Structure 1
């Protein structure tokens, strides 16, 4: 896994501690995360694990002294002691608060990994192939589309060159629908003509040993009648898979009835790969489980046709089924969006009354609807089934702790907090925000403050890396990517931030002796705001500016 650059990192800390005792010890140290355990320790090597290395699990004192001496400064170690639970480490909290909060870009903005060579990926979103009308898209299709959009942005932030297919014609109904969902998808006024490439493909297939009509320059009318009217060729895929000894494909794959649309899809994919001028590209087919079988046919057909360029690496990212319950179980993707939007409109009117009108509110409601849908469809691992309750009486609310509305609400609380602070500065109640070098971060003693720094701000860049860490090491044709990571991270962050915000009064009395604590807390909130904004950016969700 590629790790973020400079600054303190939990991954780097874990790696150093694993080798610090001078023995080979895989998975010896564990980072604490619960508020209760973080009161007394930040890392622990449990006695049971130590027992495999040391007699009765007791680490010799000279080992502990050497660990502390060597890593005190680089790992910000405050203390290391042996307890009944095991060897525990407490970090230097004030020093880490200062290090992190004085260098926010190192922790709150994605860092592009330095790669030995250019890394290219083509994301082929299967549900968008074939010039579909938006009404033909199911909620399952929408899950794959949103996953493709999110994955593309995460990869771009990590330095990948990302191409998305199909390239949709502008001003179509599908493009309009995707814009409502804040999906950033490639579109042009006119798609690239593929007639010549499709014609070449037909020639290759007509001469292929895997084609029913193979080797016949002028197939007889009788042979042509065997195939349905819109089918150009019948290609024997099972024979190809067996001869090439390919693994991972569905055992039921036999023949492919090739239509022109399949050749057009492959033509665009090949054109996109060739744009990289010989660079190795990974092609990821993002597809729902119901269409996986058909997409494997496209994969194999491309391999048969791919006679002029280097072999293309193809992977399949398969989304599990979406099961809808309630009286609205029949809704398609467009109707699902409209349903959630009407709920968000109703919830906003109930909360704000007659204020909910005009273009600005329409934009807020649309953005909140997009966030709600994205969290609903992306917070579950892509390979797992997803259950949606679309019962009319089940309303969306900012008071729930699992949805996009709750995340947006807490992000908006930060915007409101800084708006209040800035207005108070203008009124002369508070001084201007000082330089971070002037702040004494030892004032951050509330346990929720360390929890927010240690569980969310410090590891944030590593969380972004975790989303795609399996991409370079995956074997087989199926790809598993942790695309649910960012949504789950934001939900957990919102829960812990909400608990802290409800308990702690950040903007204190305008008294000089209280300013340092207020400013250190505001600096912590600045970091959280940046984390929220960056994470939401990977989902193409606009951070709200008001409650």
Structure 2
């Protein structure tokens, strides 16, 4: 991975230090770098960990490599990742080899010291609260449809993850989820959705709505549609419909159009219809009133992030433009999530649309059947119900979050579906490590093992397996970077209307991490016989998996999943 500005603070410091030292040595020795790019390797780590590809700079003589080694292998450098040697190979002008024992100690110690805060980033230099507009409706109409079907579950899951990922990256977040409708109450409860108890002042809203309409009627973007009806005199008494010219508004305000902006087909939006004030204007005024209240309560400006489904994009852009006219100082961006489609097995044939309740029941029944096969008929007892619900919701969260936000989620509805097992697999690995430490502490109490010594007393040269270094270097060390890179562009200061937020990164990271961890755990015995010559390796491995467990727990919490304490 090349050096970027959007990496986590810890990785950024390490990489910045390495880049700075390298540039200094290069300048002193007249080495020309076209565009210095230091990349982190992900495989064949025994051949090196960080590299400068040959295309990035000229060949580096041995004496310069020696000078680089002299400058970068100082153990007193303020970096988590320490280096032992520097070389070159066929493909890279410079190869940095990590000092593994010291790096193991530094990174594991840092992970465990930060604990539940590991992966959190410093507060952003922003005085704005991010207000997420999603599942927030003032009323149901044909023009403002409620989120329905399996799409509702994806909306809930993405919204909750978005809140966590923004807060972890240092943003202040606010939402205003409307109370669920009767038919979706059970889904809201299953996923722990909390709707807002605050309500807007209806009198203030009505006044704002009235003044907004009067303002639009006299603005340069309004157009009145004249009535011509010679058959009905009564129709002449009705107020003529009024529309807002979006195309002119976009052009005069130089707003982005196309892939990064508004739909080029946007032309008009209703302001006044035969039935009165349009739903689009009502929603825009409602959002204006709500964000103004939030800004007043927090004493901070608001950035409004609209989280919407693909089918709601055109309508939301109309509302967004009306809102921009009403509240000129309000910054806005849109995050669009794809639809939820279905298939059976490998067949991509279209399946009937599933409601959120049907999808939840299907996954619940599949989880129940799987648990019965594993644990027997006792699973049917009432005490297992809550656990099956927990596993079902966790599985659905992973199903909805392992796909990039704009892409459709393709659900496999077959009986042998494997799509919903990623969640259970990650939870199983987390629970397995919880059980490991529970067994270890019980053995310590019984005198079977000595207590875990302070990390400064542990000899990490005992960790010689390549898998062990891969777990640390490819997962534990880069976890904060994964979290930070989820927020690419929130749209606070961007000319783009579309926010770039990668909701799939954490879930896919946890799945990949769990596979590597499971492979290692299945091959290596952590708790060994209590023999003096084995204790050093056992302690080092216990610290490694303790750090791995911390990362798994923190990642699960970002997905709104409470880490399990037992199998």
User: 2:209·2:282 contact (CA, 8 Å) conserved in 1?
Assistant: no
**Residues 27 and 337 of structure 1: CA distance in aligned 2, closer, same or farther (over 3 Å):** farther
Structure 2 vs 1, CA of residues 124 and 516 (structure 1 numbering), >3 Å: closer, same or farther? same
Q: 1:19 aligns with which of 2, 23, 37?
A: 23
Give the distance between the partners of 1:173 and 1:128, measured in 2 at CA. 16
Distance 1:299 1:500 in 2: 50
2:70 — aligned with what?
Answer: 69
The aligned residue for residue 334 of structure 2 is: 316
Matches of residues 104-123 of structure 1 in structure 2 within 5 Å?
104-106=112-114, 109-123=118-132
3-state DSSP class of the match of 1:187?
Answer: coil
What TM-score results when the alignment is normalised by the length of structure 1?
0.86
Comparing 147-156 with 204-213, greater Cα deviation is found at 204-213
- What CA deviation, in whole Å up to 9, does each residue of 1:251-280 have, x standing for no partner? 221222355654453344323432324633
Alpha-carbon offset, residue 532 of structure 1? 0.7
Matching residue of 1:230? none
User: 1:393/1:117 Cα in 2 relative to 1: closer, same or farther (>3 Å)?
Assistant: closer
2:354 is matched with: 331
Deviation by residue 1:289-316 (Cα, 9 ceiling, x = unmatched):
111000001101112222xxx5111111
CA distance in 2, matches of 1:424, 1:365: 31
* Kept in 2: contact 1:9–1:459 (CA 8 A): no
User: Secondary structure of the equivalent of 1:26?
Assistant: coil
CA drift of 1:27 comes to 5.2
Aligned to 1:205: 213
Quote how far apart the aligned CAs of 1:8 are: 8.4
Distance 1:293 1:514, change over 3 A: same
Alignment match, 1:217: none
Cα RMSD (Å): 3.0
Cα distance between partner residues in 2 of 1:18 and 1:187: 53
Q: 2:500 aligned to 480, 492, 499, which one?
A: 480
Q: More displaced, 153-162 or 196-205?
A: 196-205
Contact map agreement 2:149 2:353 (CA 8 A) in 1: no
* Distance (Å, rounded) in 1 between the aligned partners of 2:151 and 2:181: 24
CA distance in 2 between partners of 1:78 and 1:8 (Å)? 20
Cα distance change of structure 1 residues 499 and 9 upon mapping to structure 2, 3 Å threshold: farther
- Please list, as runs of the form range in 1=range in 2, the aligned pairs for 1:159-238 lying within 5 A after superposition: 159-166=170-177, 168-169=178-179, 174=184, 176-183=186-193, 185-188=194-197, 191-208=199-216, 209=219, 210-212=221-223, 222=236, 224=238, 234-238=243-247
Aligned residues: 519
Quick check: 1:363 aligned with 2:386?
yes
Deviation at 1:176, TM superposition (A): 4.4
Q: 2:408 aligns with which of 369, 373, 385?
A: 385
Partner residue, 1:465: 484
**Structure 1 unaligned residues grouped into runs of 5+:** 215-219, 228-232
CA distance in 2 between counterparts of 1:182 and 1:39 reads 45
Which residue among 240, 249, 254 is the counterpart of 2:262? 249
1:492 aligns with 2:496: no
Shift of 1:221: 5.2
Q: Which moved more, 1:142-151 or 1:200-209?
A: 200-209
